[in-house]
């Protein structure tokens, strides 16, 4: 689907509705990570001057609400690391902050480190600090970051950037899933041997199924939140996805993953448009959290196998969005070749010979 055309989606009952075009991600920006200063922001006072600093009264509820909405949180504070973490533990807040940067580096460099650790775009970060100098330094280095004055804390939860359209089951456990990722990453760092041997220790179970109504909120969230491992960068609304999943001319698949450390949640989406002669992979996306797990091609290869069984040609659409080159590389290494362009989309085709088998270290289950 291009950003300008309005396709016709055929529903099971035979009625045809005009589905609105997929939305440009840039118009649906939401904050994924809030980075907090500590002194005179999370608590009143300066910790190194007074170890009995007092938590700001509104902070616990804000932190819990953001966590419930699936918005991750971290810390960028010029402070003594051990003293600050001890105070956060005392206040019952330490578990909410991923990859805290408590050191004497610039706030801009700390935010960049957090962004890299969580693997998100810098434009999905908000920074809360009481000092104009610190906010200006961050704004200068990272103009895409939303900087918030601590004096405006009472309005933070009402900002549109802080309010996702849906709060899904995956949203509610997002922090815990990232905490499990930290354990996995540490285990991988400590492992001696080939990457595939480490992946085999994880006991991964990959489930691929047709998208059901209960999956739609998460499916929409995936299109909004995922841009690096997204072949077009387009987003789809709940209504569009619901029409597509019921259309006999489309196949909408959702993938989930779990391993011995816990669930990754629903982490992938594939949309195929089917005609009698050609199947077209309109969208393929995977959560960045599974980038290093070697599962990114499972959906693609499964759909190619279905197309070969149907005796049709198989094509894929790709659109550069500035961040998704890895998906183009995935197509090229998967055996696709460029065959032209249409409506601003690059068209690729696969001869459906030599489709790669699923990795041995993953238990793949196809449902529905």
Domain segments of the chain as ranges? 31-162, 204-367
Distance of CA 190 to the CA centre of its chain: 26
Q: How far apart, in whole angstroms, are the C-alpha atoms of residue 242 and residue 238? A: 6
- What is the Cα–Cα distance from 9 to 209, expressed in whole angstroms? 21
pLDDT for 30: 87
| Topology of domain 31-162, CATH | Rossmann fold (3.40.50)
Computed on alpha carbons and rounded to an integer, the radius of gyration of the chain in Å comes to 22
Task: Give me the average pLDDT of each 10-residue run along the chain (368 residues).
Answer: 35 36 49 97 97 96 97 98 97 97 98 94 96 97 97 96 89 93 92 94 96 93 82 89 96 96 93 97 89 86 96 95 88 93 93 93 92
**Whole-number pLDDT of residue 196:** 92
Domains 31-162 and 204-367 share a fold: no
* Residue 291 pLDDT: 77
Please name the fold of domain 204-367: Aminopeptidase (3.40.630)
Strands 278-286 and 313-318: parallel
């Amino acid at each position: 689907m291009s950003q300008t055309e309005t396709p016709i989606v055929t529903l099971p009952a035979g009625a045809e509705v005009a589905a609105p075009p997929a939305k440009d991600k840039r118009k649906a920006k939401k904050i994924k990570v809030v980075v907090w200063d500590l002194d005179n922001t999370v608590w009143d006072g300066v910790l190194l001057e007074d170890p009995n600093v007092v938590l700001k009264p509104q902070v616990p509820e804000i932190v819990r609400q953001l966590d419930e909405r699936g918005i991750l949180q971290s810390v960028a504070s010029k402070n003594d690391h051990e003293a600050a973490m001890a105070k956060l533990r005392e206040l019952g807040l330490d578990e909410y902050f991923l990859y805290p940067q408590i050191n004497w580096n610039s706030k801009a460099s700390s935010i960049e480190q957090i962004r890299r650790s969580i693997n998100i775009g810098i434009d999905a970060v908000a920074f809360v600090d009481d000092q104009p100098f610190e906010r200006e330094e961050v704004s200068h280095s990272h103009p895409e970051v939303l900087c918030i004055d601590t004096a405006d804390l009472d309005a933070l939860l009402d900002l549109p950037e802080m309010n996702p359209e849906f709060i899904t089951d995956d949203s509610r456990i997002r922090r815990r899933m990232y905490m499990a990722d930290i354990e996995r990453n540490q285990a991988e760092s400590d492992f001696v041997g080939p990457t595939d041997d480490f992946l085999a220790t994880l006991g991964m179970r990959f489930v691929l199924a047709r998208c059901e109504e209960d999956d739609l909120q998460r499916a929409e969230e995936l299109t909004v939140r995922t841009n690096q491992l997204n072949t077009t960068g387009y987003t789809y609304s709940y209504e569009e996805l619901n029409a597509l999943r019921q259309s006999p001319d489309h196949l909408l698949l959702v993938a989930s993953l779990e391993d011995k450390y816990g669930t990754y949640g629903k982490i992938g989406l594939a949309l195929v448009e089917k005609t009698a002669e050609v199947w077209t992979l309109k969208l393929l996306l995977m959560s960045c959290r599974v980038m290093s797990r070697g599962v990114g091609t499972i959906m693609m290869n499964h759909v190619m196998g279905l197309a070969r069984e149907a005796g049709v040609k198989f094509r894929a659409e790709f659109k550069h969005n500035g961040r998704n080159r890895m998906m183009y590389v995935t197509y090229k290494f998967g055996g696709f070749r460029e065959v032209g362009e249409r409506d601003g989309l690059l068209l690729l085709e696969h001869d459906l010979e030599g489709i790669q088998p699923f990795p041995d270290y993953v238990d793949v289950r196809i449902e529905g």
